[in-house]
Structure 1
Amino acid sequence: MPSTEYRRYVALGDSQTEGLGDGDDTTGLRGFADRFAGHLEAARPGLHYANLAVRGRLAGQVRAEQLGPALALRPDIATVVAGVNDVLRPRFDAAEVAGHLEEMFAALTAAGAHVATVTFPDLGRIVPLARPLGPRLTELNDRVREAAARHGVSVAETALPEAVADPRMWTTDRLHASALGHERIAAALAHAVGLPGSDDTWTQPLPPRTAPGPGAAVAAELRWAAAFLGPWLGRRLRGRSSGDGRTAKRPDLLPLATADARDR
């Protein structure tokens, strides 16, 4: 199907797809999926869009909770982005996580949707304390690429550009993309599926900035650990998730303009 003919877009995933880091829960979240919907609308006005993502969800939960509703909406394009929450858990099985993603790839493509996904940057480039997670992310990305190739899924290689390690691409929690980061993910997806007017400018570095000195960098790490790492670990120990009690922000397939008016 030509890219200009996409009419029904459904986004599946976790907090990144929900839009954390781009807006807030009071004024409304935007995020890469909303922004990608804008690219699709520009290519072919009249797009209908639903976002089923819920923060904190593991890949298996995304498959169990969101795949059925997504198929019922009969999308002709869908994004599936999940797995980082699994990487952060003490127990991690890349084959199991990729298996959940592949089940979604297979079901959605079999139903006639063009599916797109992303690769995940090495968190150690952004959060030094997360360097031990690098091999997990490398293995997951490799398995995502292999599964995507088997099902004709478009992959936006957002793990690769050097710009991904720029702090301006991330919020202060360093786990969620900033508004600029979400903007670039959306542009990467537009490029991956070949939307008219898309290109590789999303890979380009940001303008130079003054890097903090060693002392400032250490202080920043300590502040981050106190403000974000501690509370995150506390939720894990209590068996809680940031998504407890939450539902999808856009469960219905609506014209993009209508969805924007409702959620802003």
Structure 2
Amino acid sequence: MSRALRFVALGDSLTEGVGDPVDGGWRGWAALLAPSLGGGERPVEFRNFAVSGAQTRDVLERQLPAALAFGDARAPDVVSVVVGVNDTLRCTFDIAAVAARLDAVYAACSGRGALLLTACLPDPGRKLGLPPALARPLARRQRAVNSVVHALSERYGAVHLHAAQGAWVGDRAMWSADRLHPGERGHRMLAVRFHARLAELGHVLGPPPSTEPEHPEPTRSASLFWLATAGTGWVVRRCTDLLPQLLALAAHEVHHHARGTSATLDLKAARAASAALAAVSVGWWEEAA
């Protein structure tokens, strides 16, 4: 019997499986994808290290060491790293630090021969339905994170999923009651899309996960109830330290919009992301040499 393929998942609540409840816990896209990775015959050992609220620092300092030590000295065969949204919701957001941490995580995984799975994601402001002056700064931050993920995924040969845009983002059926995490149907869609990307690249896989949910979709009343109760708490916990800065960013946004100079904010953010990538590129080329 061939040895088991080891798949570990790193990240935040998306990969933890929030929005796809089973047996008193969460399942999520990574768990749905895992059985397919063995080609239908090879057993798969799956471990999910993702934690709700995790930022890139948590993945680098906590989840990565645990994942690389999973089982025995043999490194995982497949590692998924999907993280970054929570970084954008903090007053400490620094795209240079995000790029450096992701670069270190990707390098550690690919350097041990693991196949890397990554994804870019929609901005949280859009999903929350925030007013434009509040949503635009968050969207700008998420675009910066996505541009870093795109570039580093290409550098390390990752199987990258473009999930930041597309019909699924606006399809209410894909999302859970909180409007921020995929529901079961959305998690299944992500698993199927990752399966398709892997198949395109010639990886041996078993059958794709089913697209049909096992549980009913949340009703509109359930969604409204969540937003009025638990949803408010979720936003407060994630954004307490960001709110004063976000209000300042919103005022700054309104000022530039009134002057017709909003494009300068986009340009500044794009330049910061490019500078962050340039900084980690220097270290990467020096190590390669």
State TM-score, norm by structure 1: 0.72
Deviations 1:79-106 (A, max 9, x none): 0111111111233122211321221110
CA contact (8 A) 1:121 1:158 kept: yes
Q: Does 1:131 align with 2:128?
A: no
AA of the residue aligned to 1:128: G
User: Taking structure 2 as the reference length, what is the TM-score of the superposition?
Assistant: 0.67
- Pairwise CA distance, 1:159: 1.2
Q: Which amino acid aligns with 2:102?
A: L
Query: Retained in 2: the 8 A contact 1:102–1:148?
Result: no
The answer on 1:68 being equivalent to 2:65 is yes
Match of 1:104 in 2: 105
Q: Given the alignment of the two structures, is residue 169 of structure 1 paired with residue 174 of structure 2, yes or no?
A: yes
Per-residue CA shift, 1:29-83, capped at 9, x if unaligned? 1101101102214544311111111111111011100111212231111101111
Is 1:156 paired with 2:175?
A: no
| Count, aligned residues | 219
Q: CA deviation at 1:148?
A: 1.1
Is the aligned partner of 1:12 residue 2:10? Answer: yes
- Distance, in Å, in 2 between the alignment partners of 1:13 and 1:42 is 25
Contact 1:75 1:113 in 2 (8 A): yes
Q: Does the Cα contact within 8 Å between 1:15 and 1:56 map onto a contact in 2?
A: yes
Tell me which of the two structures has the higher relative contact order, counting C-alpha pairs closer than 8 angstroms and 6 or more residues apart. Answer: 1
Deviations 1:117-148 (A, max 9, x none): 11111334432216221111111111111111
How do residues 26-45 of structure 1 correspond to structure 2 at under 5 angstroms? 27-41=24-38, 43-45=40-42
RMSD: 3.1
The 1:183/1:7 distance shift into structure 2, 3 A limit, reads same
Q: Secondary structure at the match of 2:179?
A: coil
Relative to structure 2, which stretch is displaced further, 54-63 or 226-235? 226-235
CA radius of gyration, larger in: 2
Is contact 1:23-1:29 (8 Å) kept?
Answer: yes
Which of 183, 186, 194 is equivalent to 1:181? 186
Letter in 2 for 1:58: Q
Q: Distance in 2 between matches of 1:44 and 1:64?
A: 34
**Offset at residue 197 of structure 1 (A):** 7.3
**Larger helix percent:** 2
Aligned-residue sequence identity (percent) comes to: 35
Gaps of 5+ in 1: 203-211, 240-264
